Structure 1
Amino acid sequence: MLQVTLPDGSIQQVESGITVAQFASNISQRLGKDALAAKIDGVAVDLSTSLAHNCAVEILTFASKEGAEIYRHSTSHVMAYAVKTLFPSAKVTIGPSVEDGFYYDFDVERPFTPEDLEQIEHKMAELVNADLPFVRKEVSKEDASRFFQEQGETYKVEILNDIPDGETISEYQVGEFTDLCRGPHLPSTGKIKAFKLLTIAGAYWRGDEKNRMLQRIYGTSFPSQKELTAHLEKLEEAKRRDHRKLGKELDLFSIHQDVGAGLIYWHPKGAVVRRVIEDFWKDTHVQRGYELVTTPHIAHSDLWRTSGHYDFYRENMYTLGIDDEEYVLKPMNCPGHILIYQSQLRSYRDLPVRFAELGTVYRYERSGTLHGMLRVRGFTQDDAHIFCTPEQLVNEIVGVLDLTEYMLKTFGFENYTVELSVRDPQNKQKYAGTDEQWDRAEEALIEALKQKGLPYKRMEGEAVFYGPKIDTKLIDALGRGWQGPTTQFDFNLPSRFDVTYIGEDGKKHYVYMVHRTVLGSMERFTGALIEHYAGAFPLWLAPVQVKLLPIGDRHIAYANQVAAALRQQKYRVEIDTRDEKIGQKIRVAQVEQVPYMIIIGDKEVNDQTVSLRHRRKGDVGSLTIEQLFRQLSDEVY
């Protein structure tokens, strides 16, 4: 008999040779039905694997991240099988699972069409109904290479060439389709209950623009039609909220590919939203003890050599020549803040020093990775750098977390997750700084998170080379995570630039330097805001807060008086003087997501009142101007 330890610590006695599938069914009939794969001593395996020694076993179901990935990766194999059946000349490349789905890249003679996707889906359904087993085979690298060469699968041969000689290669066969794969996989295709192919896109082989363009098919799958339907509805809602679509409809921003990809042109209404965010950001930072600074957009390349960016970040930087000297469009704001800090001698009595800047930076991104406002080449980062003593670390980090929470909740992001990224304990040599510095920094971050009562996920090996960090992901109205605030320690730049302070002992000491953003970048954050609110910004953020709708020309003069009074109170106002029926004017204002409309006709002019209408709630009622001010003020403040 063998002893098998379960995740809850309990131990079960089982007969040697029992399969994982049988073991799961012995625990419960339900678990046996839901089981997709398993982990034996931390290694993912197929359900057909036999238990041969005392071990720890975890049964993987779709409820787990790894189980869902296996489920969807198996679906991608079924899709590849269907494609090869319908398009025999297609060459297969890779087909991994991704968040909420999967994709597979193919080299085909012509691009896929929507009609092709329908045929592929139909063929996949046939393969699923056939309940074909996934069969694992282990072969030598030479045999695998010979097999795929005979099949004309040149991409698989290229992948095999990158694998060290002598390693055992695993293949998975389903029906007449064999794929190079580590596994594990579902027991059979019949386990796949609901799937949908979503989109077609182009993708360069291995992400290199010099390589051949492939056809990528995205899809998703779930263990029930109900879950798939809910997911597809969520995708449709995400399309409705797409910031690129709403940005055009609401006249917020544009991108002009002919003059530069990844560069945002803020239109008047978008610029208003940005200005409101920036003004709030500046006022809040000044109240929290930050000093606002501004640094140039370019700097001599020597500065970036000192910082290390020139050596380690060169491929992401833009350079230009001036008077036979090399300059760089700044990819980071930190060196500039260091120069300002070093402009005078600092004592421990002066610390902490907090510099903040809405600094525009430029970084090269491949054209294929650019995505609206979310992935750009020029963006304004809400950057700040804190220079402090080791003893001040915890209080400073708590202050950053306080500020982060305040900013996010003010903008309507009530939920977020926190990750603590630390160095890989098995590979310490690739990180800057001493063990003592890393231990102190990690302890400070953990202590600050504890003081704030924030749960966090520890991410081993995810720290940047110059220090540990806290990453905060915003959760929007659809439950999606957005990369946002980050807090990073830096042991690298203080030593490279000799950034010091005079301690109580009269000697120089290196400062502890903290990089932090509380929004991320103006572009990404605004894009996230657009999608979070589906373009319907709250009153304080709306580019046009009130739109006046005079019913006829004779009502325009009074509308102008009301507009002037509102502007005097610093409200953002427009007047629709078009020769249109009032119903059409209301519909246009609602499409524009204007929070409030004021309808003005004979009654309003005679009574010196306004008829207020909300974009969602409809008619609010007749108000005096003073009542109008109170109504708006209560909502804005």
Structure 2
Amino acid sequence: RSGHWENYRQNMYTSEIEERDFAIKPMNCPGGMLYYKTRVHSYREFPLRVGEIGLVHRHEASGALSGLVRVRSFHQDDAHIYMEKEQIEDEIINVIKLVEEIYSTFGLTFELELSTRPEKETIGSDEEWEYTTAALKNALDRTGESYQINEGEGAFYGPKIDVHIRDALGRKWQCSTIQLDMSLPERFNLTYVAKDGTRQRPIMIHRVIYGSIERFLGILIEHFAGKFPLWLSPRQIRLIPIADRHVDYAHAVAKKLQAHHFRCEIDDSHESVSKKIRAAQLMQVNYMLTLGDRELESQTLSVRTRNNKVSGEIKLDNFIQDIEKERSTYA
């Protein structure tokens, strides 16, 4: 019913069982339609935003596959937003603001592109395509952001805004997309109770921010060259006791750091201190805390960064205050 079978079958994993055709889900959209149909909706609920992290499978050409950035099975952060016509532009602007907020948090710059109706077979009337394309263009104009128009690059069910990000090497990646759709609500017979009591057809926006979660993680790894900022780092702090008699102090420090929701670990192996530090730096641990007799006696820490910057001794409370500030500002 969604049109994927007719328009996207070549990219789907299919099988035939007892003379019936089956396919593994390539997109989350039909599920969003079925969820909407579970009850009656009113205009008072609009805009109604329904999100999911859905697993999809797409039969990509083997030559196009590449690490995490191009795979055949991945998770996508889809949301389907249902609304009335007069809410379209404001809602699109809200999504663009969300994209800007999230990407700027990661330190990523982005470019906007408006993709229009493709020449191949599409869903929907000429009037619907003209209306939805104009709505997207008006919303982009209202944001004041620059954008380019990609003629014929839209989805088969509607025009879209593609968001391309650039990594630290200047490479361009398409992640977020905002697609306006009046066709699927009609195909699935979606309705809502309008202000005048009549049943009307809602407008729907498909939107993803990260796109493929796997691809976005791959892009981030390349962008940061593995050196994640503190708030994002899987290994934030490693405690390095110099001798066995310092291990108890290391556990006490770790407990307090964990109470402040920092990810920390203790290297209590019998390697030399220099080897422990080197191992932590190779793992791109943000901070290494060396604990010896002097630190134990003064209840301090000796702090070193993964870039080998030594900050000297510092009180634990002062260290926590500094890294909490670093974490909260997404530095």
User: TM-score scaled to structure 2, two decimals?
Assistant: 0.94
Q: Which has the higher contact order (CA 8 A, sep 6+)?
A: 2
Does 2:54 match 1:363? no
1:388 deviates by 0.9
Q: Distance in 1 between matches of 2:4 and 2:97?
A: 31
**Could you tell me which residue of structure 2 aligns to residue 423 of structure 1?**
117
Find the residue that maps to 2:59 and give its secondary structure.
Answer: coil
1:514 matched to 2:205: yes
CA distance in 2, matches of 1:326, 1:570: 50
Report if the CA contact (8 A) 1:432-1:491 is conserved.
no
Distance in structure 1 (CA, Å) of the matches to 2:17 and 2:146? 50
1:73-117 CA-partner distances (Å, limit 9, x unpaired): xxxxxxxxxxxxxxxxxxxxxxxxxxxxxxxxxxxxxxxxxxxxx
Counterpart for residue 251 of structure 2? 560
1:47-446 to 2 correspondences below 5 Å: 306-319=1-14, 327-413=22-108, 415-423=109-117, 430-446=121-137
User: Compared with structure 1, are the counterparts of its residues 322 and 571 closer, same or farther at alpha carbon in structure 2 (3 Å cutoff)?
Assistant: farther
- Alpha-carbon distance in 2 for matches of 1:327, 1:361: 15
Tell me which of 195, 198, 213 is aligned to 1:504: 195
Aligned partner (choices 147, 150, 155) of residue 459 of structure 1: 150
Name the residue aligned to 2:309. Answer: 618
Residue of 282, 286, 296 corresponding to 1:595 = 286
1:605 equivalenced with 2:296 (yes/no):
yes
Task: Please report how far the alpha carbon of residue 412 of structure 1 lies from its aligned counterpart in structure 2 after TM superposition.
Answer: 1.6
d(CA) in 1 for partners of 2:20, 2:252? 58
2:321: which partner in 1? 630
Q: What is the CA–CA distance in structure 2 between the aligned matches of 1:624 and 1:490, rounded to whole Å?
A: 57
The answer to whether the 8 A contact 1:346-1:500 is kept is: yes
Give 1:375 deviation, angstroms. 0.8
Output the aligned Cα RMSD: 1.8
The answer (yes or no) to whether the contact 2:116–2:151 under 8 Å persists in 1 is yes
3-state DSSP of counterpart to 1:529? helix
SS in 2 for 1:611: strand
Distance in 2 between the 1:537 and 1:320 partners? 42
**1:329 CA displacement:** 2.2
* Larger CA deviation: 341-350 vs 313-322: 313-322
* Partner SS, residue 277 of structure 2: helix
Which deviates more from structure 2 when the two are superposed, residues 590-599 or residues 458-467?
458-467
Task: Indicate how the Cα distance of structure 1 residues 323 and 585 shifts in structure 2: closer, same or farther if over 3 A, else same.
Answer: farther
Q: Distance in 2 between matches of 1:621 and 1:441?
A: 60
> Which ranges of structure 2 fall in alignment gaps of 5 or more residues?
none
Q: Give a deviation string over 1:327-365, Cα, whole Å, max 9, x none.
A: 432111111111111111112122111111111111112
Q: Distance in 1 between matches of 2:85 and 2:30?
A: 21
Alignment partner of 1:447 out of 138, 146, 150 = 138
Matched letter for residue 97 of structure 2: D
- What TM-score, normalized by structure 1, do the two folds share? 0.50
Secondary structure, aligned partner of 1:360? strand
**Aligned partner of residue 524 in structure 1, secondary structure:** helix
Identity of aligned residues (%): 46
May I ask how many residue pairs the two structures share in their alignment? 328
Deviation of 1:393 (Å): 0.1
Question: Which structure would you say has the larger Rg?
Answer: 1
Select which of 272, 275, 294 maps to 1:581.
272
**Contact 2:132-2:181 within 8 A present in 1 as well:** no
Q: How far off its partner does 1:323 sit?
A: 8.7
Point out where structure 1 has 5 or more consecutive residues left out of the alignment: 1-305
SS of residue in 2 equivalent to 1:542: coil
SS of aligned partner of 1:586: helix
Contact 1:539/1:636, CA 8 A, preserved across alignment: yes
CA gap of 1:316–1:542, structure 2 versus 1, over 3 A, is same
* CA distance in 2: counterparts of 1:488 and 1:606, whole angstroms: 62
| Alpha-carbon offset, residue 617 of structure 1 | 5.6
Distance in 1, matches of 2:88 and 2:110, equals 23
